[in-house]
């Protein structure tokens, strides 16, 4: 079906690409019907009368109509069975059964020297259409040229030959094929003069009439083609210089050139870079080559084409090997290909090999590009920029970039985004094999130069982001050669975000333990506040193993603390507690006080999140005393702010305000924007509890600006949710919902299920206030499920109360009762008087609905007394409802 439509489009192109309006005028068929018939995505065969009208409109006579009628019937029979009905045919007339062969366009005249097209040619519809479009430019504008480039094995020749056969009827004076052997094993590239000799002989010139010189032969070839319409496929070209003398000078010919290099200097033509197959097309190609056996193991087939990198040559080889090994399953070949060390060896037959195809491309490189390609096989990450390659190979940046661009033009590297270079999976394996052949000293030196570059660049990026903590990070001297430069915090954040995976991968390189230990300490704050917990654990746990092996107790305690902070960010509180307690034990055992205040602050945070508010308070007080005794301004500011948070959670709101203001001033003196944001956010929460909503809104707005300037995604999530709460209390439901929805999205990106549950619960509160209680109920149930699964403390008490309040609003108080009782137990156990008072307030409402007015009054009296003691506005609201005696 698809090829039939492509042939129709080619017919239109060959007729000079008349417009649909013109075709409507010639045929009498509506323009929309013609457009539909020519649509390459259509699923059904166009009606026969439409096809024949289109043939006549494109200048076809009776013989052409007959050929198209026969082609139409073959396609119809292949898709609909042996009986065909269409306008202009007798529905009862029998048709002889015909094998369901692929449809063909009308046969071409002239001499056809194209090799057979691959019978299992798959997909590439878009690329075939591009070639058809190029063919359409030959009628009046002279010869058309299209250069198809792509990596070895991507299917350039198959595409050109397949398209050539489809277009052959448009070029009645002949279809020529010439292999220039740029990358043929055991053969030198064909000299242009020799290529012209072959073409002239093929065209019919006698040997004694062919001139001797290149220029004369090129002129003779142009003269031969001047008044002809021929198709010329020039395959496997090495360069534009090799192709240029072979091009026609005039006439209506089409030249298709294939090359592994981008022939950017080939004038007057179009270019078409051939990409890998899509996953679906790769599977289809494998199925066509292997046959029915592929249908029995679809998952294994999908795995194989990915292991082949969706490269057609590799897919054909893998399928061919299976086709000739009846005892092998597809799953067995998956297992064999899964071993990277033998994968390229497996992708070979007696006359085809992926590795050999890659090697011929490598052999055509200049010495410096060969060296760059080989050393790229050492790179542990997924992609690199020119600066990293310059460090790796020991080049200037502009020289490294030139070499990378040469490799890009040769399709030995890919560029998925600007200024970033990567290798196809199979080429990565081939590059690694090239690297393995380098002297060991050269490999080790290259990797150290790369890691030196990464470590120093990360260090100065962190200096740009967190200058106030520079003295807490390892001091890294600049390496020889190329270094990064960061003009501002944004540039530093962008570099760290781009290189993060490469930095973590580099930490696993052997033989450079201090580099990995340093990188852990350098990146800790960025990874924590950016919520990159999984990668942080990989890096810090490597650093811990290396520090212990080196007997470096300070580095060991540091790595343990960073591991604890990461588990804290991931809300794995027990693991965080274990790591931090171990860090404190290491420091105390060796009499080290320089990091002890930081560990105490972190321990206090974990205990607070576990609902152990008294223990949290104790740790923060210890951290404050120690930091002041040691002159540690940074941890003093953190401890003061942490104490302000605990005082708020324990209901001492005025003390909380004073401490958070002090913390904010300390953080401003230090220039710690993260600390300032946290202090502002804490001030906003305390002001919200006290009913000072305008002040709270301003604090949170300032905090959000700092969060985003500092790429503090953890802080940003908290602040966004707090802003939503202020809008909700102010009665601006639309603004509140917008913030809560934003929080849901961000928590999903950070994989923070607890924060997602909190935001969903807040959306439920808004919906309940809007009277959409059924919708609110669904949000609260989802929120409770998330929080119960991921957080068992005060957030759980709040989620329980939210759901219970909505059930009460639905006049179903019975199921609300146990929810509020559970919330009350949690809040009392944690020592949180605010949530305790709220639990009693809501329990009183439930008891009122259930008819127990005495219990309701007692609970409301306790809640109101607590609200009054803490200075909260809920006391007046409770009294106004007449709920208290």
- Which pLDDT score, from 0 to 100, does residue 94 have? 27
Lowest mean pLDDT among 34-48, 211-225, 333-347, 447-461: 34-48
Mean pLDDT within 742-752: 94
Mean pLDDT within 131-152: 82
- Which pLDDT score, from 0 to 100, does residue 1 have? 60
- Decide: 595 and 576 in contact? Cβ < 8 Å: no
- Which pLDDT score, from 0 to 100, does residue 304 have? 95
Lowest mean pLDDT among 309-318, 521-530, 577-586, 589-598: 589-598
Confidence of residue 64 (pLDDT cuts 50, 70, 90): confident
Roughly what angle, to the nearest 10 degrees, separates helices 2-14 and 48-57? 20
Confidence of residue 26 (pLDDT cuts 50, 70, 90): confident
Per-residue model confidence as pLDDT tens digits over 371-413: 999 999 999 988 999 999 999 999 999 999 999 999 999 999 9
Confidence of residue 84 (pLDDT cuts 50, 70, 90): very low
Lowest mean pLDDT among 69-78, 572-581, 652-661, 703-712: 69-78
pTM score of the predicted model: 0.80
- Six token digits for residue 278: 């899509």
- Which pLDDT score, from 0 to 100, does residue 672 have? 92
258 CB-contact burial (10 Å; exposed 0-12 / middle 13-18 / buried 19+): buried
> Hey, what long-range contacts does 511-515 have (CB within 8 A, 24 or more apart)?
511/444, 511/447, 512/447, 512/448, 512/451, 513/546, 513/549, 513/550, 514/550, 515/451, 515/452, 515/455
Mean pLDDT within 196-217: 91
- Decide: 214 and 192 in contact? Cβ < 8 Å: yes
Residue 96 has pLDDT above 50, yes or no: no
Lowest mean pLDDT among 71-75, 94-98, 109-113, 452-456: 94-98
User: Which one has a higher pLDDT value, 884 or 81?
Assistant: 884
Residue 675 has pLDDT above 60, yes or no: yes
Lowest mean pLDDT among 226-230, 542-546, 622-626: 226-230
- Which pLDDT score, from 0 to 100, does residue 51 have? 87
Mean pLDDT within 192-209: 91
**What gap in Å lies between CA 438 and CA 446, rounded to an integer?**
11
- Decide: 674 and 686 in contact? Cβ < 8 Å: no
Please report, in angstroms and rounded to a whole number, the separation of the first and last CA atoms in the chain.
84
Mean pLDDT of all residues in the chain? 89
- Measured CA angle at 526 (ends 520, 530), to 5 deg: 130
* 446: CB partners within 8 A, 6+ apart: 375, 378, 392, 393, 394
């Amino acid at each position: 079906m698809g090829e039939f439509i492509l042939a129709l489009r080619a017919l239109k192109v060959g007729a000079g690409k008349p417009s649909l309006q013109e075709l409507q005028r010639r045929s009498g068929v509506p323009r929309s019907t013609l457009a539909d018939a020519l649509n390459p995505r259509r699923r059904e065969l166009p009606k026969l009368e439409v096809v024949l009208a289109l043939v006549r409109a494109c200048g076809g006579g009776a013989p052409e109509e007959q050929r198209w009628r026969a082609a139409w019937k073959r396609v119809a029979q292949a898709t609909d069975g042996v009986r065909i009905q269409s306008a202009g045919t007798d529905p009862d007339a029998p048709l002889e059964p015909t094998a369901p062969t692929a449809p063909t366009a009308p046969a071409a005249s002239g001499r056809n020297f194209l090799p057979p097209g691959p019978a299992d040619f798959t997909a590439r519809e878009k690329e075939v259409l591009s070639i058809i479009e190029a063919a359409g430019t030959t009628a009046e504008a002279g010869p058309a040229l299209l250069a198809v480039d792509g990596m070895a094995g991507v299917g350039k020749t198959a595409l050109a030959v397949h398209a050539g056969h489809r277009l052959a009827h448009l070029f009645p004076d002949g279809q020529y094929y010439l292999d220039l052997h740029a990358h043929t094993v055991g053969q030198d590239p064909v000299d242009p003069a020799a290529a012209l000799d072959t073409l002239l002989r093929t065209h019919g010139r006698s040997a004694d009439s062919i001139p001797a010189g290149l220029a004369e032969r090129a002129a003779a070839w142009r003269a031969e083609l001047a008044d002809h319409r021929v198709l010329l496929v020039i395959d496997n070209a090495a360069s534009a210089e090799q192709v240029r003398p072979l091009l026609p000078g005039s006439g209506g010919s089409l030249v298709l050139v294939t090359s592994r290099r981008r022939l950017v200097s080939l004038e007057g033509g179009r270019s078409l870079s051939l990409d890998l197959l899509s996953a679906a097309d790769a599977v289809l190609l494998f199925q066509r080559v292997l046959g029915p056996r592929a249908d029995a193991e679809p998952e294994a087939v999908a795995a194989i084409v990915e292991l082949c990198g969706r490269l057609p040559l590799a897919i054909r080889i893998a399928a061919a090997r299976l086709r000739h090994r009846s005892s092998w399953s597809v799953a067995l070949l998956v297992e064999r290909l899964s071993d990277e060390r033998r994968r390229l060896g497996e992708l070979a037959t007696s006359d085809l090999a992926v590795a050999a195809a890659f090697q011929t491309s490598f052999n055509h490189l200049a010495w410096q590009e060969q060296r760059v390609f080989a050393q790229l096989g050492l790179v542990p990450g997924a992609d690199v920029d020119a600066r990293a390659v310059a460090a790796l190979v020991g080049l200037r940046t502009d020289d490294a970039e030139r070499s990378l661009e040469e490799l890009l033009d040769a399709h030995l590297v890919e560029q998925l985004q600007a200024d970033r270079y990567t290798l196809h999976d199979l080429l990565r394996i081939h590059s690694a094999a090239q690297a393995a052949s380098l002297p060991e000293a050269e490999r080790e030196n290259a990797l150290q130069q790369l890691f030196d570059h990464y470590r120093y660049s990360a260090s100065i990026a962190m200096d740009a982001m967190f200058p106030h903590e520079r003295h807490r990070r390892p001091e890294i001297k600049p390496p020889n050669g190329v270094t990064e430069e960061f003009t501002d915090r944004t540039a530093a954040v962008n570099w760290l975000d781009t290189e993060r995976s490469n930095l973590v991968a580099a930490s696993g390189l052997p033989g450079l333990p201090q580099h990995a230990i340093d990188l852990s300490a350098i990146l800790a704050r960025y990874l924590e506040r950016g919520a990159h917990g999984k990668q942080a654990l990989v890096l810090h746990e490597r650093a811990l193993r290396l520090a212990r092996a080196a007997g470096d107790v300070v580095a060991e305690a540091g790595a343990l603390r960073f591991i604890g902070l990461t588990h804290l960010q991931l809300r794995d509180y027990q693991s965080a507690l274990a790591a931090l307690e171990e860090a404190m034990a290491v420091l105390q055992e060796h009499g080290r006080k320089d990091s002890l205040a930081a560990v105490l602050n972190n321990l206090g945070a974990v205990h607070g999140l576990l609902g152990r508010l008294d223990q949290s308070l104790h740790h923060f007080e210890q951290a404050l005393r120690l930091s002041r005794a040691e002159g540690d301004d940074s941890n003093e500011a953190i401890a003061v702010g942490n104490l302000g948070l605990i005082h708020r959670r324990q209901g001492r709101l005025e003390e909380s305000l004073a401490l958070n203001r002090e913390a904010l001033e300390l953080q401003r003196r230090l220039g710690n924007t993260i600390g300032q944001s946290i202090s502002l956010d804490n001030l906003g929460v305390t002001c919200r509890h006290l009913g000072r909503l305008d002040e709270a809104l301003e604090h949170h707005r300032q905090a959000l600006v700092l969060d985003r300037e500092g790429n503090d995604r953890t802080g940003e999530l908290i602040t966004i949710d707090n802003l939503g709460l202020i809008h909700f209390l102010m009665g601006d439901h639309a603004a509140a919902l917008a913030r809560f929805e934003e929080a849901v999205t961000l928590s999903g990106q950070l994989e923070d299920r607890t924060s997602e549950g909190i935001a969903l619960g807040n959306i439920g509160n808004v919906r309940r206030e809007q009277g959409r209680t059924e919708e609110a109920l669904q949000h609260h149930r989802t929120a409770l499920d998330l929080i119960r699964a991921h957080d068992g403390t005060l957030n759980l008490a709040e989620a329980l109360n939210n759901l219970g309040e909505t059930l009460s609003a639905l006049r179903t108080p019975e199921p609300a009762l146990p929810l509020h009782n559970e919330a009350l137990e949690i809040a009392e156990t944690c020592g949180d008087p605010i949530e305790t008072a709220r639990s009693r307030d809501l329990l009183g409402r439930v008891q009122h609905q259930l008819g127990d007015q005495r219990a309701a009054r007692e609970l409301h009296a306790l809640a109101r007394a607590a609200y009054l003691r803490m200075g909260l506005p809920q006391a007046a609201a409770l009294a106004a409802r007449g709920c208290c005696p």
